[in-house]
Structure 1
Amino acid sequence: MTIEVAAVVAYPPQGAPNWRYEPVKLRTVKDHEVQIRMVSTGICHSDIYESNIPDRTAGIPYPWIFGHEGAGYVEAIGDGVTHVNIGDPVLLSYDYCHNCDICRSGQPAYCLEWRGRNRAGETGLFETKDGRDAGGKFFGQSSFASTSLVQKTSVINVKDLVHSDEELKLLAPLGCGLMTGVGAVLNSAKVQPYDIVMVTGIGAVGLGAIAAAKVLGCKEIVAVDRVATRLDVAKEFGATKVLNTCSSATSLVEDVRKLVNNQRISSVIETTGVPGVIASALSAMGWHSKLIQIGIPPPGAELNIDFQEFFAANKVIECHCLGDEAPKTLIPKMLAWWRDGKLPVEKIVKFYPAKDALEAAHEMERGTAIKPVLIW
């Protein structure tokens, strides 16, 4: 038995994501799955990145249904699901196994089965209007469908935390980008009030990092970007100083050191993935400092460092993914911050009808929308 739902379906790219808003068929719920009626889903750079891969023959080929910042209501429950009931409001995040050593250590974002569960996807969930199987369970959820079958681990029950449809629609982005930035500061950098934190790249991830640094009371929070309007938003999230790299005639290293009066920068949250920015951030860091690398550099990118200087200054580079904490505990913390006015999600969200997904993605890439959210 199947039901017909609307979806943003990704087909082979044509120099850019090739998304089509169209009806698809969805099978019925199975064990360990939850059927979710989506009310909204954030668009993340990962959705665009995955949609731009020209040849997916190594895994499930196109068509695909992406989306991994979903919010909605439980419509049906498979056997083995005990933490939600029909009608509960939920936020969605990634899937993990619970059983490997890393999951048991409390860091499920690095689950040994993560790639298979979140990027490889699953067949047999969706069928396109011309009868083709479409890849699903992206990040355990494929929230670019108006109704989807979601792996139970990806479902966070927020029935006691969210009080209306409007709140639920707004908070969809907590499941990936904002969570990644918040967790980078909270769990990986573990900053202290005496620390100076620098954040390079002011998208949703960078803004989450800035908000967390403010909550933790860091004495200086430096936001670095090349778009003035994003730096204005960074101030609203808690940045104490901003650096526009487009309006400077000197180097990033010189500019940042001048901004902080040559004080020690103890943590850098790097979200751009631009090799030159990464190298500059490493140079600007102080003694016994840590760079948390979140942005993904382009294929083949290399980083050259003076290892003697790097070693002598006791610097650290640490790659970071998805908040370094289980979503079921991190998302409620973020919700509490939002309700207290410490994580102003409403300042960065721009809503679009789901049928306008491509326009929303283009605006995100142009920098005119920080966090597009599709409404179903």
Structure 2
Amino acid sequence: MNIRAIVSHSPENDEARFCMEDIVLRETQGNELLVEIVASGICSTDLFFAHAAGGELGPFPRVLGHEGVGWVRAIGREVTVAAVGDAVSLSFASCTKCKACISFHPAYCHKFSAVNYGASAAYQRAGGEDLSGYFFGQSSFANYSNVLQESVVNISKWVDTEQDMYNYAALGCSFQSGSATVTKLASVGTEDSVVIMGLGAVGLSAIMAAKIQECSIIIGVDRFESRLQLARDLGATHVINTIEAGHDIAAAVKSITSGTGSTVTIDATGFMPLIKSGLDFTANKGKMIFLGVPPLDAEMNLNVVRFMATGKSILGSMEGDAIPSEHIPCMIDWFKSGKFPINRLVRTYKAEEFKLAMTDMKSGLTIKPVLVWK
């Protein structure tokens, strides 16, 4: 089948290289669904992998994209999750068989890298060269994709308009990761004081989730004043501008929390100085959660004895420990009831405008760029 896709090539001079190309999609297999992609969100994870130097993070050339939504056009004989004509949201894949998967923690699948980072050939160029796909089981930077059943959530009963599809595109990663980190992994409640560092799509989703959970203090931290104002609108009780605060972010948090610090600190930046500061200002017995992706060689020194005395916990968030088939419908219900206004984060672009969309996201102009394929 002839399709269009945004193909990621080996980076040059530390610059990611993407090109829109006409390629050939191979036949749909038994555990796959052929999905006509309506829209696909661009996530910082896509840009991270586009800069990666291959190896266990996957080969080049390949098709990325892991925030897709679309219509099922064909199914393999083993598929039970959806039928032809259904609307589907696409999330991460899991092996379904390891201890983490069978104990309902698929985001911590023991084979997560193998099944999500796209080492399998899924396409061909006209000259016969193989292209890798199955990124997060979906590779949704294309107008059609063969998607692993494990990555699919049926959302047919919640789709009324095409605009719904655009708003739902990022449910499978950004919106899910931010909100589930708050509601499931951190399990916050009304007594919690929560700090969320980095107010992109992930961080602002976390802000909204903390408001839904009625946390007593919700602090948003960022360097863009427009995002800080949006965080206020979406539920933050306080905001901290990192440029204005300088090196005193910890002091600002302590001041807001009457000297105790935050009971839950979520980093959505991957910026090591902020992560180190966040661990310092987290309250005793509090939780520090790594959600943003730092450089691959990032390390942090820790005085074990002093840390032990604080009783703090350090957690790594993979998709917020969400089960997509449960959490995606939950987010849609929040959205429909007005509690989770993700439409305020979304800006649509024609698929051909992907370079502009990526530039706008990196500059902070756009929070969640969504590529529309029709």
| Percent identity for Structure 1 against Structure 2 | 35
Is contact 1:237-1:342 (8 Å) kept?
A: no
The aligned counterpart of 1:47 is: 46
SS of equivalent residue, structure 1 residue 19: strand
**Which residue number corresponds to residue 374 of structure 1?**
371
Tell me how far 1:58 sits from its aligned partner: 5.9
* Partner residue, 1:350: 347
| Alpha-carbon distance, 1:230 to partner | 1.1
Alignment of 1:161-310 (within 5 A): 161-310=158-307
Bigger mean CA deviation after superposition, 63-72 or 204-213: 204-213
Q: CA deviation at 1:60?
A: 5.3
The structural deviation recorded for 1:201 is 0.7
Q: Secondary structure of the residue that 1:223 maps to in structure 2? A: strand
Tell which deviates more after alignment, 73-82 or 299-308. Answer: 299-308
Is 1:225–1:245's contact at 8 Å kept on the other side of the alignment? yes
Q: Which amino acid aligns with 1:86?
A: V
1:111 matched to 2:115? The reply is no
Closer/same/farther in 2, CA of residues 249 and 275 from structure 1, 3 Å limit: closer
Where does the alignment leave 5 or more consecutive residues of structure 2 unmatched? Answer: none
TM-score, normalising length: structure 1: 0.96
Contact 1:191 1:213 in 2 (8 A): yes
Q: Secondary structure at the match of 1:139?
A: coil
Q: Secondary structure at the match of 1:12?
A: strand
The answer as to whether partners of 2:118 and 2:137 remain within 8 angstroms in 1 is: no
Q: TM-score, normalised on structure 2?
A: 0.96
C-alpha separation between the residues in 2 aligned to 1:178 and 1:83?
A: 22
Q: Which moved more, 1:151-160 or 1:58-67?
A: 58-67
User: 2:18: which partner in 1?
Assistant: 19
8 Å contact 1:253–1:284 — kept in the other structure? Answer: yes
**C-alpha distance in 2 between matches for 1:249 and 1:275:** 15
Rounded to whole Å, the distance in 2 between the matches of 1:228 and 1:59 is 34
Change (3 A) 1:163 1:53: same
- Is 2:86 the counterpart of 1:88? yes
Aligned-pair distance for 1:26?
0.9
Tell me, in whole angstroms, the C-alpha distance in 1 between the residues paired with 2:205 and 2:35. 26
**Does the CA-based 8 Å contact 2:179-2:208 persist in structure 1?**
yes
1:34 counterpart residue number: 33
In the other structure, the counterpart of 2:309 is 312
CA distance in 2, matches of 1:277, 1:66: 29
| Matched residue SS, 2:5 | strand
**CA displacement 1:12-31 (0-9 Å, x = unmatched):** 22332211112111122110
Give the C-alpha shift of residue 101 in structure 1.
0.8
Contact 2:208 2:340 in 1 (8 A): yes
Structure-2 change in CA distance of 1:60 and 1:111 (3 Å): closer
What is the alpha-carbon distance in structure 2 between the residues aligned to residue 129 and residue 202 of structure 1?
A: 42
User: Where does structure 1 lack aligned partners over 5 or more consecutive residues?
Assistant: none
Equivalent pairs, count: 372
Rounded Cα–Cα distance in structure 1 between residues aligned with 2:81 and 2:318: 25
| 8 Å contact from structure 1 (residues 201, 270) kept in 2 | yes
Which whole-Å CA distance do the structure 2 matches of 1:10 and 1:249 have between them?
A: 37
In the alignment, the residues of structure 1 paired with residue 258 and residue 58 of structure 2 have an alpha-carbon distance, to the nearest angstrom, of 52
CA distance change for structure 1 residues 60 and 320 in 2, over 3 Å: closer, same or farther?
closer
Residue in 1 that maps onto 2:73: 75
Counterpart residue identity of residue 234, structure 2: F
Q: Deviations over 1:297-346 (max 9, x none)?
A: 22332212333332112111011101202100010011111111111111
Q: How far has the Cα of 1:259 moved from its partner?
A: 2.4
Corresponding residue SS for 2:136: helix
